[in-house]
C-alpha cells in the first residue's frame, strides 16, 4: 500500500500574503495582550452589532416569505437575533461574560482541530510542531476560561484573543517558511 503525499501549492506557500497575514496576526495579538479590557469590550460590541444586523436581515427575509409557518419561525429567529444584539450593545459588560464562555469553547475546539491538522501536515511541513504547540495552548486556554469564569472574564477575553492570535501568527509564519525551504 502506497501513501500519496498531498501536493503542496507552491503559489500559496511562496505568496507574501501568507507572511503578511502571519505578521499582522502577531501584531494584533500583541495589541490585544496590551489592552485586554478594551479588546474584550470591543469584541463584545462587534458581536452585538453583527447580531443586530443579522436580526434585521432575518426579519426582512421572514416578511418576504410565503408560508405562514415559515414566516412566524423566521420572524421569531430574527427577533431573537435583534434582541440579543440590542442587549449586548446596551450592556457590553454582561455581554463580555457570555462571549467569554463562547470564546472558551471556540478556542478549545480550535485547539483540538489544530493539533489534528498538525499531525496530518507533519510529512509536508517541517515546522508542524509549532501548530501542535498552538493547538495545545488553545486547549489549555479553553479549559482555563471555564475554570476561572466569571471572576476574570473582563480582562481574560482580550488576553486570550491576543495570545491566540500571537501563537497562530507564529505557527503560520514558521510553517510557511519551513514549507518554502522544503520546496527548495
Under a CB-based contact definition with an 8 Å cutoff, are residues 141 and 164 in contact?
yes
pLDDT bin (cut points 50, 70, 90) of residue 69 is low
Q: Which position has the higher pLDDT, 16 or 167?
A: 167
With a cut of 90, say whether residue 57 has pLDDT above it: yes
Under a CB-based contact definition with an 8 Å cutoff, are residues 147 and 137 in contact?
no
10 Å Cβ neighbour count for 20?
A: 10
Distance (Å, whole) CA 63 – CA 49: 21
For the ranges 25-29, 98-102, 171-175, the one whose mean pLDDT is highest: 25-29
| Phi, psi (rounded to 5 degrees) for 128 | -60, -25
The grid cell for 152 is 476574570
Residues with Cβ within 8 Å of 69's Cβ and at least 6 positions away in sequence, in order, are none
With cell 479590557, the residue in question is 37
Please give the pLDDT value at position 120. Answer: 84
pTM metric for this prediction: 0.57
Please give the pLDDT value at position 73. Answer: 79
- Average pLDDT value for the chain: 81
How many alpha carbons lie under 13 Å from residue 19 in its C-beta half-sphere?
9
Distance (Å, whole) CA 135 – CA 65: 43
Under a CB-based contact definition with an 8 Å cutoff, are residues 84 and 40 in contact?
no
Q: Which position has the higher pLDDT, 66 or 95?
A: 95
Please give the pLDDT value at position 104. Answer: 79
pLDDT bin (cut points 50, 70, 90) of residue 44 is confident
pLDDT bin (cut points 50, 70, 90) of residue 177 is low
Helix (H) or strand (E) holding 104: helix 92-121
For the ranges 14-23, 64-73, 74-83, 100-109, the one whose mean pLDDT is highest: 74-83
With a cut of 90, say whether residue 26 has pLDDT above it: yes
Q: How far is CA 90 from CA 56, 71, 93, 106, in A?
A: 17, 28, 9, 24
With a cut of 80, say whether residue 38 has pLDDT above it: yes
Please give the pLDDT value at position 182. Answer: 54
Please give the pLDDT value at position 179. Answer: 57
Angle of helix 129-148 versus helix 153-183 axis, rounded to 10: 170
The grid cell for 40 is 474584550
Amino acid at each position: 500500500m502506497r501513501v500519496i503525499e498531498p501536493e503542496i501549492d507552491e503559489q500559496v506557500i511562496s505568496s507574501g500574503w501568507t507572511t503578511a497575514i502571519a505578521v499582522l496576526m502577531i501584531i494584533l495579538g500583541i495589541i490585544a495582550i496590551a489592552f485586554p479590557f478594551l479588546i474584550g469590550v470591543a469584541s463584545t460590541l462587534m458581536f452585538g452589532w453583527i447580531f443586530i444586523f443579522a436580526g434585521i436581515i432575518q426579519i426582512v427575509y421572514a416578511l418576504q416569505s410565503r408560508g405562514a409557518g415559515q414566516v412566524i419561525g423566521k420572524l421569531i429567529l430574527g427577533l431573537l437575533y435583534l434582541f440579543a444584539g440590542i442587549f449586548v450593545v446596551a450592556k457590553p459588560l454582561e455581554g463580555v461574560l457570555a462571549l467569554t464562555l463562547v470564546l472558551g469553547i471556540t478556542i478549545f475546539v480550535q485547539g483540538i482541530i489544530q493539533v489534528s491538522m498538525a499531525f496530518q501536515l507533519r510529512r509536508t511541513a517541517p515546522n508542524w510542531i509549532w501548530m501542535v504547540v498552538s493547538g495545545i495552548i488553545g486547549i489549555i486556554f479553553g479549559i482555563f476560561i471555564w475554570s476561572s469564569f466569571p471572576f476574570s472574564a473582563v480582562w481574560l477575553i482580550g488576553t486570550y484573543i491576543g495570545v491566540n492570535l500571537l501563537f497562530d501568527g507564529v505557527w503560520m509564519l514558521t510553517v510557511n517558511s519551513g514549507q518554502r525551504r522544503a520546496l527548495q
